[in-house]
């Protein structure tokens, strides 16, 4: 049985069988270790995204059976209170390195006491989304495009989430009523040619509801570009099943922006999922948040970008981490991102180079930041430096 009901292509049939089919022996050792924490659970459960969601790890007792918690983590889990709570799919937990307190997977999903420290520059809504929201659930910051928030729920809650003010399993303000108002707004604003469906995570909705939203937007004549922003292929790859792919394919092209932060997130399962999406005509891009102690190293980012290309995901944005409340332990100086870009530009394939951006505090939108390759200018002459530091002169036409 193929629990995901995925179509098997010649190219990836071996991998697909390894990953999705057969006996529990075919799960990775780490996956089996986690699975046995759930009484009576089987590999079929593991492959079922609903089971993964229902069994998300939310308490200290279970997580401390997987890794030894540090004092900072214990305090973080205890102190998180009504803030963004801990919620980790068993699959994502299986990626944690048991004995590494610096594990990049662990740092993204387990709260620490550092989240309780608030710095002056931090904000609840750093990108000013709420002040650019003409109707609930819709952000209209740039004239020709909108961000359509359709779900407050995610498979896993990232500790640095820029929308931590609104995401969480217990928040429920987005519903069919808000969807219809948002769609009406898009219909009545003819300059909107691009819609990004996001959240929370839109892939937490049922296929039926997602289809209704995608269809409704695709039917608007002036909308020519539709994207879905999601982290589900990384945190809950089981969710990308054939019925979901069929919905996206039916209304294609529907682009997908996937949030990846570390090359360790690109597992054999994730490779299969990206292959399936790409094989079915869904163009893939990535979004990465620059995070201290997780990926703020040129070698890590370069490897992530290379691994993304290998699974047909085009690196799209590298974000400066937004100054949300309690995020100082994740944020890096701007110079770190610039140095990373310096180490990419000219040093690897152009396709592997994302745009480094700051989503400016206060709602100014994204501003690209890059190393400066113009050394000086004199009349029609530009003195430029290349990736090796050698200088060249460009002459503008007079
Ligand atoms: S998946 Fe996205 S929206 Fe959800 S918690 Fe992570 S960053 Fe926030």
**CATH code at position 197:** 3.20.20.70
Q: Is 158 in the pocket of ligand 1 (CB under 6 A)?
A: yes
**Contact at 8 Å (CB) between 269 and 112?**
no
Q: Which residue has the higher pLDDT, 161 or 20?
A: 161
* 198 and 143 share one domain: yes
CA dihedral (99, 105, 110, 113) positive or negative:
positive
* 142 and 89 share one domain: no
- Please give the Cα distance from 85 to 150 (Å, whole number): 20
**Contact at 8 Å (CB) between 126 and 327?**
no
Q: Is 159 in the pocket of ligand 1 (CB under 6 A)?
A: no
Question: Is residue 74 domain-resident?
Answer: yes
* 170 and 267 share one domain: yes
pLDDT at 146: 98
CB proximity list for 373: less than 8 A, separation 6 or greater? 345, 384, 385, 386
Q: Is 84 in the pocket of ligand 1 (CB under 6 A)?
A: no
Nearest residue (by CA) to ligand 1, atom 5, is 157
CA 159 to ligand 1 centroid distance, Å: 8
Question: Is residue 394 domain-resident?
Answer: no
Nearest residue (by CA) to ligand 1, atom 8, is 161
- pLDDT tens for 330-388 read 999 999 999 999 999 999 999 999 999 999 988 899 999 999 999 999 999 999 999 99
pLDDT at 172: 85
- Please give the Cα distance from 245 to 214 (Å, whole number): 13
Q: Is 165 in the pocket of ligand 1 (CB under 6 A)?
A: no
CB proximity list for 117: less than 8 A, separation 6 or greater? 326, 328, 329
Nearest residue (by CA) to ligand 1, atom 3, is 200
Q: Is 201 in the pocket of ligand 1 (CB under 6 A)?
A: yes
pLDDT at 15: 39
- Please give the Cα distance from 136 to 130 (Å, whole number): 9
In the chain, beta strands by DSSP E: 138-142, 145-151, 194-199, 225-230, 255-259, 284-290, 314-320, 355-360, 365-368, 374-378, 381-385, 391-395
* 33 and 102 share one domain: yes
Nearest residue (by CA) to ligand 1, atom 7, is 161
CA 164 to ligand 1 centroid distance, Å: 8
pLDDT at 362: 83
pLDDT at 23: 35
Alpha carbon 108 to its chain centroid, in Å, reads: 12
The count of structural domains within the chain is: 2
* End-of-domain residue from the set 116, 143, 166: 116
Q: Which atom, in ligand 1's list, is nearest to the CA of 199?
A: 3
Question: Is residue 329 domain-resident?
Answer: yes
- pLDDT tens for 302-324 read 999 999 999 999 999 999 999 99
Q: Is 229 in the pocket of ligand 1 (CB under 6 A)?
A: no
CA 155 to ligand 1 centroid distance, Å: 8
DSSP β-bridge partners for residue 318: 288, 356
Question: Is residue 383 domain-resident?
Answer: no
Q: How confident is the model at residue 194 (pLDDT cuts 50, 70, 90)?
A: very high
pLDDT-wise least confident of 14-28, 112-126, 241-255: 14-28
CA 232 to ligand 1 centroid distance, Å: 9
* 159 and 85 share one domain: no
* 17 and 137 share one domain: no
* 137 and 197 share one domain: yes
The residue among 248, 227, 136, 235 whose CA lies nearest residue 181 is 136
Question: Is residue 319 domain-resident?
Answer: yes
* 102 and 139 share one domain: no
Question: Is residue 390 domain-resident?
Answer: no
The average confidence (pLDDT) of the chain is 92
- Please give the Cα distance from 233 to 242 (Å, whole number): 13
- pLDDT tens for 238-247 read 999 999 999 9
* End-of-domain residue from the set 93, 116, 139: 116
* 157 and 294 share one domain: yes
Q: Count of CB atoms within 10 A of residue 29's CB?
A: 7
Q: Count of CB atoms within 10 A of residue 368's CB?
A: 10
**Contact at 8 Å (CB) between 164 and 212?**
no
* 34 and 167 share one domain: no
Packing angle between helix 268-279 and helix 13-20, nearest 10 degrees?
130
Q: Which atom, in ligand 1's list, is nearest to the CA of 154?
A: 4
Residues with a catalytic annotation lie at 141-142, 145, 154, 158, 161, 163, 322, 359, 366
Q: How confident is the model at residue 2 (pLDDT cuts 50, 70, 90)?
A: very low
Q: Which atom, in ligand 1's list, is nearest to the CA of 84?
A: 5
CA 28 to ligand 1 centroid distance, Å: 26
**Structural domain span for residue 95:** 13-116
Question: Is residue 385 domain-resident?
Answer: no
Taking every pair of Cα atoms in the chain, the longest distance, rounded to a whole number of angstroms, is: 77
Residue whose token pair is 């610039």: 338
- Long-range contacts, stretch 183-188, CB < 8 angstroms, 24+ apart: 183/213, 183/216, 183/217, 183/220, 184/135, 185/134, 185/135, 185/138, 185/140, 185/146, 186/138, 186/146, 186/148, 186/217, 186/220, 186/223, 187/220
Question: Is residue 139 domain-resident?
Answer: yes
Q: Is 163 in the pocket of ligand 1 (CB under 6 A)?
A: yes
pLDDT exceeds cutoff 80 at 6: no
DSSP β-bridge partners for residue 335: none
φ and ψ at residue 118, rounded to 5 degrees: -115, 130
* 75 and 192 share one domain: no
* 148 and 19 share one domain: no
- Please give the Cα distance from 324 to 167 (Å, whole number): 13
């Amino acid at each position: 049985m193929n629990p995901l009901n995925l179509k098997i292509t010649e190219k990836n049939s071996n991998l697909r069988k390894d990953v999705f089919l057969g006996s529990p022996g075919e799960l990775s050792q780490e996956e089996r270790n986690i699975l046995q924490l759930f009484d009576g659970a089987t590999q079929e459960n593991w492959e079922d995204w609903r089971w993964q969601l229902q069994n998300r790890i939310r308490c200290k007792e279970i997580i401390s059976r997987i890794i030894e918690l540090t004092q900072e983590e214990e305090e973080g889990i205890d102190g998180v209170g009504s803030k963004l709570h801990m919620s980790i799919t068993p699959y994502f937990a299986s990626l944690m390195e048991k004995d590494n307190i610096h594990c990049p997977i662990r740092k993204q999903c387990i709260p620490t006491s550092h989240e309780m420290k608030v710095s002056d520059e931090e904000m609840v809504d750093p990108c000013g989304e709420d002040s650019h929201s003409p109707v609930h659930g819709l952000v209209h910051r740039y004239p020709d495009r909108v961000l359509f928030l359709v779900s407050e729920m995610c498979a896993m809650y990232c500790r640095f989430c820029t929308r931590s003010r609104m995401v969480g399993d217990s928040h429920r303000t987005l519903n069919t009523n808000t969807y219809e108002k948002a769609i009406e707004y898009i219909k009545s604003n003819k300059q909107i040619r691009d819609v990004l469906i996001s959240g929370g995570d839109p892939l937490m909705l049922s296929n039926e509801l997602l289809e209704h939203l995608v269809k409704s937007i695709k039917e608007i004549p002036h909308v020519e570009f539709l994207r879905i922003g999601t982290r589900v292929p990384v945190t809950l790859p089981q969710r990308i099943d054939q019925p979901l792919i069929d919905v996206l394919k039916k209304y294609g092209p529907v682009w997908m922006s996937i949030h990846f932060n570390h090359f360790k997130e690109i597992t054999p399962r994730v490779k299969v999922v990206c292959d399936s999406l790409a094989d079915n005509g869904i163009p893939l891009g990535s979004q990465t948040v620059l995070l201290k102690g997780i990926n703020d190293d040129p070698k890590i980012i370069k490897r992530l970008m290379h691994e993304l290309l290998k699974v047909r995901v085009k690196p799209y944005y590298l974000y400066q981490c937004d100054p949300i409340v309690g995020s100082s332990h994740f944020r890096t100086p701007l110079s770190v991102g610039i140095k990373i870009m310096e180490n990419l530009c000219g040093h690897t394939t152009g396709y592997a180079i994302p745009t480094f951006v700051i989503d400016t505090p206060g709602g100014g939108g994204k501003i690209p930041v890059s190393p400066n390759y113009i050394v000086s200018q004199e009349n029609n002459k530009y003195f430029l430096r290349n990736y090796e530091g050698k200088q060249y002169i460009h002459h503008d036409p007079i």
